[in-house]
Amino acid sequence: MNTERFECDAPVGVIADTHGTLRDEALTMLEGCGVILHLGDVGSRDQDAAILERLAELAPVHTVRGNVDTAPWAERLPWYLDLVVNGWRLHLVHDIADFAPDTPCDAVLHGHSHKARNEWRDGRLLFNPGGAGRRRFSLPLTLGKLWADEAALRGAILRLPL
């Protein structure tokens, strides 16, 4: 698999677990991003493909497939994806349990749990933007942003103002 490489001066928007719901607040928070990464569980219905189309109106979108992405349109989504942004190697996977630890990367971006995570472990950023769609349990609705420049790779979890 070829790794796509690109330069991006703007923040990288990171969203996951929309489960068929794309909130206006999430769109507002992703405005101005240079690229948007959706980490799976877009939705299971035919019309849920419109979520990715709407995100693509803001910035180029890269998406991995999640366990609920079962509609025919989702069959084209890869289970994992490797990108290089400003020299930083990002590995995208929906469920961290499917991540192979020997994968060469600087960051593992994942979803599935709906629990936001922004932590460095053993020299690698583990980043989960949390869930931005339907509320799950008592977890807040969140998404994330990454800043990748020559000095550092930094992430932030942003709570949707609901």
**For range 31-48, the mean pLDDT:** 98
Confidence of residue 2 (pLDDT cuts 50, 70, 90): low
Its pTM surpasses 0.85: yes
The structure tokens listed for 96 are: 């961290």
**For range 89-93, the mean pLDDT:** 98
Residue 161: CB atoms within 10 Å: 9
Q: pLDDT > 90: what percent of the chain? A: 91
Query: Comparing C-alpha atoms, which of 14, 4, 11, 6 is closest to residue 117?
Result: 14
Residue 147 vs residues 8, 76, 100: alpha-carbon distances, Å: 9, 28, 24
What is the pLDDT at residue 136?
Answer: 79
Handedness of CA 122, 67, 137, 58 (dihedral sign): positive
What is the pLDDT at residue 137?
Answer: 79
